[in-house]
Chain A
Amino acid sequence: MPSGLLDQLRRIVGAPHVLTGVECSPYVVDGHAPEAAVFPGTREQVAAVVTLAAEQGLPVTPWGGGTKMWIGSPPNRIGLVLALKRLDRILEHEPGDLTVTVEAGLTFDRLQVELGKRGQWLSLDPAASDRATVGGILASDASGPRRHLYGTARDLVIGLTVIGADGRAVRGGGKVVKNVAGYDLPKLYIGSFGTLGILVEATFKLRPRADVDRLVVARFDRLKDAGQGARAVLGSDLIPSALELVDDQALERLSPGAGAALLVGLDGIAPQVEWQVAELERLLAPLGLRESRVLDGELRDETWRGCAALGRPGHDAVAAVMKWAVLPTQLAELMDEGASAAQRNGLRAEMTAHAGVGIVTASLSGSADPGPVVATLTDWRDLVVGANGHATVAWAPLAVKERVPVWDDPGPTLRLMKGIKERLDPSGILNPGRFVGGI
């Protein structure tokens, strides 16, 4: 990077908040080191940095906690990493309105702790929430098991502020829970992976914390039986907050013992939870239930955290992770077929699924050799797309990503997406090349 440009960046954010050279090594993406990393302290500084980058044609990659930077196609160039962690304030929490407005760099757990002090929570449970930031969670549309009942970011965000490619702040939505004025811009920015603007602020709907929160781990001999159990729960009067299908390989890592499992979150007031725990056992007993344990407190939290961590690289020898979206009724069968495909390629698959919404996290281990990994991911995509679903490579080493597309072919919708991208980021500086269809 030319030193004149570095000086300008230093003038904007202050010299201690600009990293260069080897200091940038924590910010490498798919083998590409950024030319600099900047840490603005205000949204005005964010705007000034983006404006400068746009003038220079310098690509900008927004960075929150860095917990999901591996999602996306390998970039051609990482110009500037724009880290938001200094924008980490809770700006407004009005418990009576059940809304909160925060800056994008705030860590998710910190927000949850603050809300908890007032008996409320933001009903999202993304992975790595100790490091993941609000902005990163929204940009990647991260969610967790509780989406079964409480939905995803698109259901919970009521307003957003972004800094656009022209450096101007744009607000979409507002601070009230119901609002149809103008286009629903928050929906556009959620899950856009920083390709349309830099998220600096978000307002959420909140929920009161439940009096009682339990996790039932129901074990079965076979995944197929657990799948039947999930369908029985979905067809019943139960209102679980989470319904996770866990295959035998994944379960082994979560809690020792054989077989597959159904993890059922039940929360509410005591009589609701008690009735549901009993009703759940009654429903599952004839379907091959081997054992059921009701967890609470630290054990419950630890199990949920473990469940979320299954889909993340970091534990030993994960070779790749893929996310599938299929119909709930297709789950157990596709998961079984997927596991067989991995076996044929000499690999081991571990899978968990949000059973009510049809989202599978499938990870591969057993060999670092790209050949079989590429073969399995390709088989998986054929399997899932063949079932009218879609598959995303959530994590894989560069050698694999170079041979397996991260995203499916977006088909005719790509025209609309590119149209939006070209109009909101005409010079193409916002996180270019990593998103669907090369956006």
Chain B
Amino acid sequence: MEALLGAGGVLSDPDELMVYESDGLTLFRALADFVVFPRTAEDVSLLVRLANREGIPFVARGAGTGLSGGCLPTEGGLVISLMRMNRVLEVDYENQMAVVEPGLVNLHLSWAVGPQGFYYAPDPSSQQACTIGGNIANNSGGPHTLKYGVTTNHVLGLEVVLPDGELMWIGGKTRDAQGYDLVGLFVGSEGTFGIATKIVVRILKKPQAVKTVLAVFDQVDQASEAVSAIIARGLVPAAMEMIDQLTIEAVEDAFGCGYPRDAAAALLIELDGLAAGMEAQAERVVQACRDCGARDVRAARDEAERALLWKGRKSAFGAYGRISPAYMVMDGVIPRTKLPYVLGRVNAIVAAHGLRVGNVFHAGDGNLHPNILYDPRNPGEEARVVAAGAEILKVCAEVGGSISGEHGIGLEKVDYMPFIFSEADLACMHRVKDAFNPTGLCNPGKIFPSNKACVEVGPAYRPHPIEEKGLAQRF
């Protein structure tokens, strides 16, 4: 491997390997035998062939911002870091697409095409750090997926290294590739179908106008009802985010973004699109919120105020770090109309375990992010958090929802797959996996239970300094 990548392209010193033992969900840790840094697709292909020859497992890694342990080397072996493959290879503005390498940071693509009036729509909240390759693995979402869809809706083609090392293109620059939708299958397969080495994505024209509205409620149920009321009035906001009281207080303590501390919940609603009719649409949103009992509804007057409101939303996780030594974020999805019921259940479940929860989430999609606050130094508390989390996901499943909206199953939720899938569903997924990854060497132990995993479950998350400053968050 050193002959291929140079001495600086291979890590094997345990101290250095420790940097890669975890992702954004620090509950789980696993140590690789090597971390390698290829520069080209051919490098990746050779590394994968080598791993196959030696019979050792391998897993791709981007920025390590994942939240389900998806990139952990649970059976040791190779971690293939794609951080040196981070170029924008080609931008075709007229056909509105770009070809990028997997290690490119999500936001850097929008920066690259921004001067020409374009952007890349999927915007996971970790977009300042997370990579497009990682987004492919997880089919990442973000606040604006309400209107624009998730990663899979924006990927046209992929050059991939398959689990046996073969390099090939699936999909491409043109639409409607013949045969099975291999790109659709690959996106969101959590690194178990191979490693994407080139990615063709759609880029979108920036909207003419954006309007951001903050609606403040004295009851959480009113905010939930406003979400449905806005949808029922035929509006499709670009984003519709809910923030509860505990979170508002934490955010205001930390950053002072202008959210009223005594509110039970706030909705951050963003409209975008044509300038024509924007005021009329905003008026409909304001009216819907008022009709649901909002005590205050206001639109951001300028870009600075808009940025501040979004900072409040996007820095919520850093703010939790200030009021709790640790927290665990859940990622359930429910039908929007079940919001009032499920939020009540979430609060009751967490309280029953003697814990606190803050909610900040993509309300328009019904994608909940309950953040269970706890102190890992208290014996047994971590186990109660995990138990409460499982109960919450069970409730999501019971109301017809899902156990993950954007973070993936990874390691974290392998045991919860039966909450929503039958044995036949899982068997079908296994057969599809077998078509791509028959040896199982490519990212073992993820999505489905494995008996070979060697994972340490240990002291949990501590916020990174840039999170504490509100500069970035984990999702």
User: Contact residues of A with B, CB < 8 Å?
Assistant: 94-99, 119, 141, 151-152, 154-155, 164, 168-172, 174-185, 187-188, 190-192, 196, 207-211, 231, 234-235, 237, 239, 268-272, 274-276, 323, 325-329, 357-359, 388-390, 392, 407-408, 410-414, 416-417, 419-420, 422-424, 435-437, 439
Q: Are B178 and A407 in contact (CB under 8 A)?
A: yes
A178 & B277 in contact (Cβ 8 Å cutoff): no
When C-beta atoms are compared, the residue in chain A nearest to B274 turns out to be A272
Chain A min CB distance to B114 (Å): 16
Inter-chain contact B181/A191, CB cutoff 8 Å:
yes
Given A183-B432, A208-B234, A171-B180 contact (CB < 8 Å): no
Q: Write out the residue numbers on chain B whose beta carbons fall within 8 Å of the beta carbon of A407.
A: 178-179
Which residues of chain B are within 8 angstroms of A389 by Cβ–Cβ distance? 174
Q: For residue A119, which residue of chain B has the nearest CB? A: B234
Smallest beta-carbon distance A118→chain B, Å? 9
Any chain A CB within 8 A of the CB of B176?
yes
Assess A177 versus B179: contact at CB under 8 Å? Given A94-B335, A188-B184, A269-B277: no
Q: How far is the CA of A239 from the CA of B204 in the complex (A)?
A: 11
Q: How large is the interface on B (under 10, 10 to 19, 20 to 34, 35 or more residues)?
A: 35 or more
Residue of B whose beta carbon sits closest to that of A384: B174
Stretch of B379-387, B417-425, B463-471 that contacts chain A:
B417-425
Question: Given A170-B425, A176-B402, does the pair A182, B417 have CB atoms closer than 8 Å?
Answer: yes
Complex: how many Å from CA A183 to CA B182?
Answer: 11
> Which residues from B are CB-within-8-Å of A323?
176
Quote the shortest CB–CB distance from B214 to chain A (angstroms): 23
* B128 contacts partner chain A, Cβ-Cβ < 8 Å: no
Contact indicator B401/A174 (Cβ below 8 Å): yes
Is B96's CB within 8 Å of the partner chain A? yes
CA distance A154 to B151 in the complex (A): 12
Q: Tell whether, in the assembled complex, residue B232 and residue A435 are in contact, meaning their CB atoms are under 8 Å apart.
A: no
Our pick among A96, A183, A210, A271 for the contact of B185 (Cβ within 8 Å) is A183
Report if A388-B173 is in contact (Cβ < 8 Å); known contacts: A164-B424, A328-B94.
Answer: yes
Q: Complex: how many Å from CA A171 to CA B417? A: 13
Between-chain CB contacts (< 8 Å), 13 pairs: A168-B424, A169-B424, A172-B428, A175-B401, A176-B333, A176-B366, A179-B333, A180-B138, A181-B402, A323-B176, A325-B174, A389-B174, A424-B428
A177: chain B residues at CB < 8 Å are 333, 365-366
- Residues of B close to A151: CB separation below 8 A: 149, 153
Residue of B nearest to A158 (CB): B402
Q: What separation, in Å, do the CA atoms of A274 and B299 have in the docked complex?
A: 25
* A155, A174, A180, A270, most chain B CB atoms within 10 A: A180
Cβ-based interface call for B457 (8 A): no
Binary interface encoding of chain B residues 111-155 relative to chain A, with 1 for a CB under 8 A from any of its CBs, else 0: 000000000000000000000000000110100010001101100
Q: Which A residues touch B139, using CB under 8 A?
A: 180, 184
Q: How far is the CA of A111 from the CA of B337 in the complex (A)?
A: 22
Establish whether residues B181 and A96, one from each chain, have CB atoms under 8 Å apart when the complex forms.
Answer: no
B7 contacts A by Cβ under 8 Å: no
Cα A343 to Cα B92 with chains together (Å) = 33
B424 touches A170 (CB 8 A): yes
User: Residues 431-456 of chain B: 1 if any A CB is under 8 Å from the residue's CB, otherwise 0?
Assistant: 11111100000000001000000000
